[in-house]
Structure 1
Amino acid sequence: MGSCIICGTSVDGHICDVHEEDAVFEFRGDSPEQLTPGRYYRGSVDGFAEFGVFVDIGDEVTGLLHQSELDSRLESLDWQPGDTVYVRVTNVRDNGNVDLSWSIRQADEEFRGVLIDDPDEDHELLPEETDESTETADESTSADDEAAEASGSDETDETTTETADRQTTGSVRTGSDSGATVGSVGDTESTPETEAAGTDGPVDETRADREPEPPTVDVDDLDDWIGETVRVTGEIVVARQTSGPTVFELRDGTGTVDCAAFVEAGVRAYPSVGEDAVVEIDGEVRERRGDLQVETEELTLLEDDERGRVLEGIEAAIRSRARPEEIEPLVADEAVAAESETIADVVEEIRRAVMEDRPVIVRHSATADGYVGGAAIERAVLPLVRERHDRDDAEYHYIDRRPIEGDVYGLDDATTDVTRMLSDRERHDEKLPLLVFAAAGGTEESADGFELLDVYDVPRIVIDTVVEPAIADVVETALAPTAEATTIATADGTTRGPTATALAATVAAHVATDVRDDLVHLPAVSYWGTIPDAYAEAAADAGFDETAIDEIREAIALGAYYQSYEDKRELVTDLLFGEQDATAEDVRGLASHVSEQFRENVDVAVATAEANLERRTVDGTTIGVLDLEQFTHGYDFPPATLLLDELYRRLGEELDAIVGLGADELHVRSEHSVDVRELASSADQAVEGADLEALSTRSHRIEFLAGQRESVREAVLDALAASL
């Protein structure tokens, strides 16, 4: 008989069944069947596959650590073949395949014992039992034990038990002067004699009577305290149970850090402490796979006034760091300047998300305005993410840009986002993201999508040229120029309002001030037709003349069409900014080449459309009608929306409006104010069973039943002529 190395219980060997998962084993066998499922083993990386990592357990047996068992993305692992890793055997299949799971403990000292699993022995061995150099020391220890036993002393067993208690017990104290225990790690009943974890006598009633307090350190400064015991104070934002310790994610005003508390494998530490609790945690700062972690030694729960003061301090610190002092538009644009307070709100929300390790997802329309506005936000967030995270894939993990087909954020888009974010939360413990919409989501047709996000309390920001009241009511922050805002002058004497990019680029310039110079030409890129003077001059000062801006815009529009659901981050970056330290001339070279393809395709399509455009005059109003089914290639560039835009820019002086008629939808282009909802309603009353419905008031698109196509055509033309 022997004693369990953790609790001292008499067992055949050195580990009891209860604490078997607290030890790590070195495998000395040569067959998978000799492994014990449920145990943790020390192994080495053998190789990688698309679906996981092969790990050698001992010299003769290899198991698979599937990617679904990892606590991070497979591509983010910095392992090399031969690296030591720690895994748990979950299953040995009949065919000899070994299934493994991940262990958060990745060093011998993080386990509570190291044993050797040798199938040739009748029990597990201690490492020294296979090392001849320690035999003398073992004999000396045995002699001491025998002497103690002969004298009737229980000192050895008591010491073993006390050590186990210190490792498995930790009290949760309130922040009151009484120091009363709220609960223990295992939620067991406490007494005055056992309140203090790891002590033999009664609890000291005040903190001043206990051991000297460790220094209080901000999370952002923990890099300087690795290996030291410190105190961190903040709010628990996530409490999760792993197969090893309980991990509390603590947030203060400077950042977040994981605090690991260990009872025994898979057992909840401090069960009375959950999310939203405000605590002080004392523990040693360690580095785990490139991230900092505090090994919790004592946790104090703060309540009442102390809790309130900490939360107020966190909020004040985050707001101070996240909110810009003032907003300086990229150019003298009164319409943008009028939105300074809302711009500051948007900047604060984006910067807070980065500080709180919340992914920022930019959703934008697959148009030039959408891509450029989305790229501006991405350009600003990327350096903040890189600065905050050491992981190689952080820039793809914490900032993502996802185009949507039109300018409406529908239920299909929202369902995709919800499915993805819940999966990332479950598999990778990610926070729910902040969604930022650029040149999309501003009309009430997006309300259903936003309401689905609201079910999960996903924060939402919309940056668009128009944000209707139905959307402003269901998102946290909405940024759009007001209808009364002064517009900016152009060279031809007209005025134009700000694009979504003009707003988004201003936001981006304050999210990361270092990228401001990279962004000044972007608003000019987003304007089709005549560019407002101030933005054209700003672009020219940055080295981009009008021709260069036109080429970049056309290149972006062409790239946006192909694989429109992909962000094409690297291509868009090259087209807008070029490689690092690139000049305006470098950027223009690539854009010029791509824009040639744009111009060739658009010129042919426009010439065909002009030749087949039907002109209808109704009550003195001239409307051009293009049959998109007959005179465009439905699946070739340019898309109908872009073709109609270009056609109206060329013919707008001689036409009051253009209608593009597809199989079951139509598009309206006009400089006159056209309310497509009223247009659809009027036509729907005139055609029974057509089921006309406005799909987007921003892009002026109406859907109908294909069987009523000809009747819809006439009804819409009559209603449109009456409204102009």
Structure 2
Amino acid sequence: MQNTKTDDVLVYRLGAGCDLADIEEGNTYQGKVQGFATFGMFVQINDRIKGLVHKSNMKEEHKEKDSVLVRVRQVRPNGNIDLEEVQHQVYQVQNVERKSTTVRISDLPGKVGRTVAVEGEIAQVKQTSGPTIFTIVDDTGSQNAAAFVEAGVRAYPQAELGDIVRIIGEVMMRNNQLQIEVDALTVLGDEEAVAVQARIEKALDARAEPENIPLLVKSEVLENLRPEMRKVAKLIRKAIFTSQPIILRHHADADGICSAVAIEQAVVSLIRESGGDFDAEYFLFKRAPSKAPFYEIEDITRDLDFSLKDNVRYGQKIPLVILTDNGSTEEDEPSYKIASVYDIPFIVVDHHHPDATIDKYLKAHVNPYHVGGDFGITAGMLGTEVARLINPKVEPLIRHLPAVAGVGDRSEAPERALFLALVRDQYTEDDCKDIALALDYEQFWLRFNDGREIVKDILNISGNTERHKKLVRLLVDGANTMIEDQMSASMPHVVPRVLKNEANLFLLDVEIHAHKFTFPPPGKTSGEVHDRLCKQNAGKPVVTIGFGPDFAVLRSRGVLMNIPRMVRELRNEIPGGGISGGGHLVVGSIKFVEGMRDVVLEALIEKIADAQIQR
């Protein structure tokens, strides 16, 4: 009701979320002139409510968008509002907010058609050609809220990524997707924001905790890695629940692909279960192969470029980057340093020999060497166990991937046999070898593309087993034909040497004695040559070096080398060599400047000759 004392007059400012139920007869409201008719002027009290001031109740002449004070004379049964203009020089203003019940996002499916209030963090702001889409995260889930001012115009520009807000709006279905139509958005003050943030963090921490499930196989190394694998899974689950984009980088071979695809299946399925958009799995998750077994400058440059553009164009958070089958060595450090400028968080799931300088850049690091294991526990084995912790529901789709990874990476660890036994009713060892070869062959032609759907068919994840078998058979035939052609060209040019430690060394110049720019590439060519030489020299120590103008690829059986350490020593011992590289202890690669090739190779051979022989 209107007060009698002038300096005590109360004027109400109606919030954007208010509707007719919030209007009270006799109260005075701030309004804005919307337009005129012969019988009076229309006044908007907020974006949803307007009334009529009859010309007999107008105090002075106005133009459109003028601010006025109006008293509600009557609210008619049909919803029409009769107003009269009032004038006060001194008055107090009181905000009126919609009397909406604050609900959790998980409760929204049962609130369709009702106006509700939601409190949460802005996880994404996406400007479309129509409304502005805010992705809101609370302690129970995430939800899109659409706010419209004008087509393509940013609504609520004061609300930024990471703000804690209260949104009031109607819950609706749009294109079979739940959505809040925003009537009002308020950035919460410090005290309220801290309370809401604390509630969200506490609930998310509990929600992100992985289930306590057993491992697929009995393994002391994997059991010892369980705490770190749970940590990795929790970080990934929390990223999903907070709509943080995820980039998954992996080495472009069968082991790296198996590890990454296992995690991909878990992440994508959990994004769907968490109520993301129909295309959320594409703009919140990206899998990308890396040609080298480490995170190259080229990789971080690509990832950073896409991430910063998405941050600016689509209001996305800075991503969580997962590296699998790479990320553990000092070769990764230059990329980590670049990423640290932008505070990009990293997780590593790898089985390369780790360097101590790396962990300071990482949120978590699963590596068998940390618990007394070695590279025989492959990235595919590790990634599959992590994937099961992220979302146990994907296990039936991925439980064969560790067996494929084990044979593809030539693991000699006892876990290889255990994972093969786990799936022998569906996949023989030869089946797994064929799948691994098909992955290597297809990825060579895919180059930097992930081939998401093709790879799913090769791994029999798509569900079409007949198509899987046909595709693998064709790819294996194609790969074997090209391998045999390469071996026919290369094997006659292998140069043998016997070293002082009685190791049998074999050298092959793959630059001049192998086909270029085709399958198999130099690394795999060297591996195929090595396998043949091992069969020809059964029971003897064998080292194979396939080299080109500025690189060498090493494979060893029965010689106890440490390739990463050898690379570091050579770099210090040969000034001007431009030496870099690494890998596993007995499988790896080294780069150098072309003019120093002969010097570097001879120094490398000397170190191999000093290595112990496995008796």
| Bin for the TM-score computed over the shorter chain | 0.7 to 0.9
Q: Is the 8 A contact 2:380 2:405 kept in 1?
A: yes
Partner of 1:566: 449
Q: Is the 8 A contact 2:167 2:185 kept in 1?
A: yes
Alignment partner of 1:601 is 2:478? no
Q: Is the 8 A contact 1:360 1:436 kept in 2?
A: yes
SS in 2 for 1:400: strand
Q: Is the 8 A contact 1:683 1:719 kept in 2?
A: no
Cα offsets for 1:622-673 (capped at 9, x unmatched): 3211111221112121112122223333434434422222111112222434
- Residues 158, 288 of structure 1: CA spacing in aligned structure 2 closer, same or farther, 3 A cutoff? farther
Cα offsets for 1:334-368 (capped at 9, x unmatched): 21121111111121222222222222221111111
Partner AA of 1:362 in structure 2: L
Q: Which whole-Å CA distance do the structure 1 matches of 2:216 and 2:475 have between them?
A: 28
* Mapping 1:376-455, distance limit 5 Å: 376-388=262-274, 391-455=277-341
Partner of 1:610: 491
Partner of 2:610: 722
Tell me by how many angstroms 1:300 deviates: 7.2
* Mapping 1:577-596, distance limit 5 Å: 577=460, 579-580=462-463, 582-583=464-465, 587-596=468-477
* Mapping 1:571-720, distance limit 5 Å: 571-577=454-460, 579-580=462-463, 582-583=464-465, 587-622=468-503, 623-652=505-534, 653-671=539-557, 672-683=559-570, 689-694=576-581, 696=583, 700-720=588-608
After TM superposition, the structure 1 stretch with the greater mean CA deviation from structure 2, 375-384 or 568-577, is: 375-384
Q: Which whole-Å CA distance do the structure 1 matches of 2:446 and 2:591 have between them?
A: 24
Q: Which whole-Å CA distance do the structure 1 matches of 2:544 and 2:130 have between them?
A: 66
- Residues 286, 484 of structure 1: CA spacing in aligned structure 2 closer, same or farther, 3 A cutoff? closer
* Of 387, 390, 406, the match for 1:508: 387
Q: Is the 8 A contact 1:404 1:564 kept in 2?
A: no
SS in 1 for 2:368: coil
Aligned pair count reads 546
Q: Is the 8 A contact 1:624 1:655 kept in 2?
A: no
SS in 2 for 1:632: coil
Alignment partner of 1:557 is 2:440? yes
- Residues 333, 428 of structure 1: CA spacing in aligned structure 2 closer, same or farther, 3 A cutoff? same
Partner of 1:174: none
SS in 2 for 1:342: helix
Partner AA of 2:94 in structure 1: E
Cα offsets for 1:122-145 (capped at 9, x unmatched): xxxxxxxxxxxxxxxxxxx9xx98
Tell me by how many angstroms 1:252 deviates: 0.9
Unaligned runs of 5+ in 2: 1-30, 72-89
Q: Which whole-Å CA distance do the structure 2 matches of 1:665 and 1:397 have between them?
A: 37
Q: Is the 8 A contact 2:123 2:243 kept in 1?
A: no
Partner of 1:471: 358
- Residues 412, 159 of structure 1: CA spacing in aligned structure 2 closer, same or farther, 3 A cutoff? closer
Tell me by how many angstroms 1:262 deviates: 7.3
Partner AA of 1:452 in structure 2: I
Partner AA of 2:606 in structure 1: D
Q: Which whole-Å CA distance do the structure 1 matches of 2:327 and 2:512 have between them?
A: 31
**Relative contact order higher in (CA < 8 Å, ≥ 6 apart):** 2
Q: Which whole-Å CA distance do the structure 1 matches of 2:144 and 2:281 have between them?
A: 20
Q: Is the 8 A contact 1:525 1:549 kept in 2?
A: yes
* Of 197, 216, 237, the match for 1:351: 237
Q: Which whole-Å CA distance do the structure 1 matches of 2:575 and 2:395 have between them?
A: 55
Alignment partner of 1:193 is 2:89? no
SS in 2 for 1:233: strand
SS in 2 for 1:217: coil
Q: Which whole-Å CA distance do the structure 1 matches of 2:70 and 2:578 have between them?
A: 73
Partner AA of 1:645 in structure 2: G
Q: Is the 8 A contact 1:260 1:296 kept in 2?
A: no
Partner AA of 1:534 in structure 2: L
Cα offsets for 1:2-36 (capped at 9, x unmatched): xxx9635899xx99xxxxxx9xxxxxxxxxxxxxx
Q: Is the 8 A contact 1:261 1:295 kept in 2?
A: yes
SS in 1 for 2:511: helix
Q: Which whole-Å CA distance do the structure 1 matches of 2:64 and 2:597 have between them?
A: 89
- Residues 430, 303 of structure 1: CA spacing in aligned structure 2 closer, same or farther, 3 A cutoff? closer
Q: Which whole-Å CA distance do the structure 2 matches of 1:458 and 1:421 have between them?
A: 10
Q: Which whole-Å CA distance do the structure 2 matches of 1:267 and 1:360 have between them?
A: 26
Q: Is the 8 A contact 1:373 1:505 kept in 2?
A: yes
Q: Is the 8 A contact 2:156 2:185 kept in 1?
A: no
SS in 2 for 1:690: coil
Partner of 1:217: 103
Q: Is the 8 A contact 2:33 2:63 kept in 1?
A: no
Q: Which whole-Å CA distance do the structure 1 matches of 2:530 and 2:315 have between them?
A: 50
* Of 196, 219, 238, the match for 1:333: 219
Alignment partner of 1:498 is 2:382? no
Q: Which whole-Å CA distance do the structure 2 matches of 1:417 and 1:335 have between them?
A: 32
Tell me by how many angstroms 1:259 deviates: 5.0
Partner of 2:255: 369
SS in 2 for 1:694: strand
Partner of 1:520: 399
- Residues 244, 625 of structure 1: CA spacing in aligned structure 2 closer, same or farther, 3 A cutoff? closer
SS in 2 for 1:469: coil
| Percent identity of equivalent pairs | 27
Q: Which whole-Å CA distance do the structure 2 matches of 1:564 and 1:441 have between them?
A: 20
Q: Which whole-Å CA distance do the structure 2 matches of 1:360 and 1:535 have between them?
A: 28
Partner of 2:24: none
Q: Which whole-Å CA distance do the structure 1 matches of 2:256 and 2:327 have between them?
A: 11
Q: Which whole-Å CA distance do the structure 2 matches of 1:662 and 1:300 have between them?
A: 61
Q: Which whole-Å CA distance do the structure 2 matches of 1:214 and 1:564 have between them?
A: 54
- Residues 382, 238 of structure 1: CA spacing in aligned structure 2 closer, same or farther, 3 A cutoff? closer
Alignment partner of 1:292 is 2:292? no
Q: Is the 8 A contact 1:677 1:693 kept in 2?
A: no
Q: TM-score, structure 2 length as denominator?
A: 0.78
Q: Which whole-Å CA distance do the structure 2 matches of 1:700 and 1:267 have between them?
A: 52
Cα offsets for 1:204-252 (capped at 9, x unmatched): xxxxxx88x4222111222322332212223344578899987765321
Partner of 2:18: none
Partner of 1:176: none
Q: Which whole-Å CA distance do the structure 1 matches of 2:474 and 2:48 have between them?
A: 60
Q: Which whole-Å CA distance do the structure 1 matches of 2:136 and 2:572 have between them?
A: 59
Cα offsets for 1:277-296 (capped at 9, x unmatched): 44444433345664513524
- Residues 277, 596 of structure 1: CA spacing in aligned structure 2 closer, same or farther, 3 A cutoff? closer
Q: Is the 8 A contact 1:335 1:482 kept in 2?
A: no
Partner of 1:544: 427
Q: Which whole-Å CA distance do the structure 1 matches of 2:270 and 2:161 have between them?
A: 26
SS in 1 for 2:561: coil
After TM superposition, the structure 1 stretch with the greater mean CA deviation from structure 2, 463-472 or 391-400, is: 391-400
- Residues 240, 416 of structure 1: CA spacing in aligned structure 2 closer, same or farther, 3 A cutoff? closer
Partner AA of 2:562 in structure 1: D
- Residues 683, 248 of structure 1: CA spacing in aligned structure 2 closer, same or farther, 3 A cutoff? closer
Tell me by how many angstroms 1:620 deviates: 3.2
Q: Is the 8 A contact 2:248 2:287 kept in 1?
A: yes
- Residues 392, 152 of structure 1: CA spacing in aligned structure 2 closer, same or farther, 3 A cutoff? closer
SS in 2 for 1:562: helix
Tell me by how many angstroms 1:618 deviates: 2.8
Tell me by how many angstroms 1:378 deviates: 1.4
Unaligned runs of 5+ in 1: 16-21, 23-108, 114-140, 167-190, 198-209, 488-495
After TM superposition, the structure 1 stretch with the greater mean CA deviation from structure 2, 653-662 or 416-425, is: 653-662
* Mapping 1:69-84, distance limit 5 Å: none
